[in-house]
Structure 1
Amino acid sequence: MTQLTMPAKSPAARRAPRRPQRAVTLNLIAVAAGLAVWTLLGVLGVQALPTPLEVAAKAGELIADGTLLGDALASLRRVLLGFLLGTLLAVPIGFLMGWYATARGLLEPYIQFFRTIPPLAIIPLAIVLLGIGEVPKVFVIFLAAFLSSVVATFQGVVDVDRTLINAARVLGASDRTIFLKVVVPASTPFILVGMRVGLGSAWGTLVAAELIAAQEGLGFRMQQAQLYYDLSTIFVGLIAIGVLGLLMDRLLLLAERHLTDWQERR
């Protein structure tokens, strides 16, 4: 009787389960090395740099009196609102530009023009037209997220393999079916990458946006600390922005892996 044997796993398959553990280990090593270098520079007194322990103590003070939580919530609200509005508008416009040549011809000049202008350069105009309330702050963040997402969505649509579209047409699929069943799934990885880039742009624009007569927010707190050379508070703000941005990016990455699990990954 012939004995059936299972095929041996490839080296890549045998290594696959270990990749997340190895990545986490490398991340921890990198963080530990960064903290060690930071501590050394602080102990040596380079540019009066605070040590991690001093920054942690300042963070404890700001948490205890509620300042850090209030600032974080204010900044998070602005970023989420601007990012969501920018993404919700960018995705349909990107699909229109990629799917319809007429829409592309009409919209692309404006998209490419404003894409070359830094969102921060819009702040003076936003103040004049929109005042100094929450609207101009959210608008500047919205613009940063919108421009990244719309270009990524557009590129995703135009890069869809024409063979897939032609094969669907041969099988009798309508344009609507092709768009929903072929173009949208194939564009999803591009859209999600654009959202991640847009999220980074939104957080990167936050500090400048909070220059517009803000009374709370991480960017506002850092600017106030700058006036008094309070480096510890500046570091607390930087770390808080980095942690919040990283958590939101990880959530988008999880969504990307869930929605594009059909893709081959290295």
Structure 2
Amino acid sequence: MSLVEADTRAGAAVAAGAQPRRRPPVRKLILNLISVVIGIGLWWGFSLAGHDIPAPPAVLTRAGELIADGTLAADVLASLTRVLAGFLLGVALAVPVGFLMGWYAPVRALVEPWIQFFRTIPPLAIIPLAIVLMGIEETPKIFVIFLASFLSCVIATLQGVVGVDRTLINAARVLGANDRIIFGRVVIPASSPFILVGMRVGLGSSWATLVAAELIAAQQGLGYRMQSAQLYYDLPTIFVGLITIGVLGLGMDRILLLAEKRLTSWQETR
């Protein structure tokens, strides 16, 4: 073997060894399944130990009944519509507001005190005012969810824009880029990881606010069904609602996480 061939093979081996090792997806899936089994086992154990919680078979039976009569599907559709409407409206407003606050100091000085002011007020405390001003239809329910999503996402977007490396911006200016090009080619890509994290936090806040939002004269919805079950001490129905909200929220979060991985593939991660 010649010296050139040896050096080439050695360099290829070093390059291959330098690549980060990724955990096999099968191993991750197995660990996820083990975690779910352990969680269900602990739940079942608490039930058998005499704690006042329904066992998994009782919850599964109740879920089958709610699915059979169409109640669960109607509740899921109602709640999912409210969450998606409030969440998407919140993100649609939070992203441009966050960009304006991060890029223009006067806008930040004018708007940030109000953002911080409303962040200290729980969205649930807005419910009485929302009922008085907006009535008892769908508008106040969506507004409360929108507010929770907006406040979570706008801060993340602001932090993403403010945290852009000034060296990148200065280098773009030296190369002759104007503000529009810098904003589109530097600021938006650099702040996109923060925006996506803010969207995930906003999505969690939207689901967390759902149950309280459906206190407003709702006739359908997972939160409404859980509150009605509370009056009759119907614990299996409450557990069905909790698990359904958790599964839906987890599924939507995984979708955002997948989008984050695809849109920020350039970012170094562990």
**What interval of TM-score do these two structures reach, taking the shorter chain for normalisation?**
over 0.9
Q: Within 1, Cα distance between the matches of 2:129 and 2:27? A: 48
Point out where structure 2 has 5 or more consecutive residues left out of the alignment.
Answer: none
Unaligned runs of 5+ in 1: none
The answer to whether the aligner puts 1:168 opposite 2:172 as a matched pair is yes
Deviation (angstroms), 1:45: 2.5
Counterpart of 2:231 in structure 1 is 227
Q: Distance in 1 between matches of 2:72 and 2:109?
A: 47
Pair 1:34 & 2:49 matched = no
Q: Which amino acid aligns with 1:109?
A: P
**CA offset at residue 17 of structure 1?**
4.5
User: How big is the shift at 1:23?
Assistant: 2.3
Question: Residue 70 of structure 2 is aligned with which of 66, 70, 73?
Answer: 66
Is 1:82 aligned with 2:89? Answer: no
The superposition leaves residues 55-107 of structure 1 with CA deviations (integer Å, 9 ceiling, x where unpaired) of 01100000000000000000000000000000000000000000001111110
Q: How many residue pairs align between the two structures? A: 263
Which residue among 249, 252, 255 is the counterpart of 2:253? 249
The DSSP-based 3-state class of the residue aligned with 2:218 is coil
The Cα of 1:10 is off from its aligned counterpart by 2.9
The partner residue of 1:10 within 11, 17, 22 is 17
Post-superposition CA distance 1:98-132 (Å, at most 9, x none) = 00011111101110100111000000000111111
Match of 2:125 among 121, 128, 134: 121
User: Which one of the candidate residues 189, 194, 198 is aligned to 1:190?
Assistant: 194
Deviations 1:139-190 (A, max 9, x none): 0000000000000000000000000000000111001100110000001000
Matched with 1:137 is 141
Distance in structure 2 (CA, Å) of the matches to 1:126 and 1:138: 10
SS of residue matched to 1:7: helix
Distance 2:44 2:118 in 1: 42
Residue number in structure 2 paired with 1:52: 56
Distance in 2 separating the partners of 1:220 and 1:64: 19
Q: Which moved more, 1:169-178 or 1:2-11?
A: 2-11
Looking at structure 1, the residues matched to 19 and 241 of structure 2 have their Cα atoms a distance apart, in angstroms, of 41
One-letter code of the match for 1:161? D
Deviation at 1:12, TM superposition (A): 6.5
Pairwise CA RMSD of aligned residues?
1.2
1:201 matched residue in structure 2: 205
Q: Deviations over 1:17-44 (max 9, x none)?
A: 52x3332222111111111111111122
Report the equivalent of 1:22. Answer: 27
Identity across the alignment (%): 69
Match of 1:237 in 2: 241
| Alpha-carbon distance in structure 2 between the residues aligned to 1:24 and 1:264 | 23
**CA distance in 2: counterparts of 1:90 and 1:186, whole angstroms:** 17
Q: Distance in 1 between matches of 2:46 and 2:23?
A: 38
- Give the distance between the partners of 1:253 and 1:155, measured in 2 at CA: 19
The answer to whether 1:91 aligns with 2:95 is yes
- 1:261 counterpart SS class: coil
Q: Distance in 1 between matches of 2:50 and 2:136?
A: 40
Q: Deviations over 1:196-226 (max 9, x none)?
A: 0000000000000000000000000000000
**Structure 2 CA distance for aligned equivalents of residues 175 and 12 of structure 1:** 36
The aligned residue for residue 214 of structure 1 is: 218
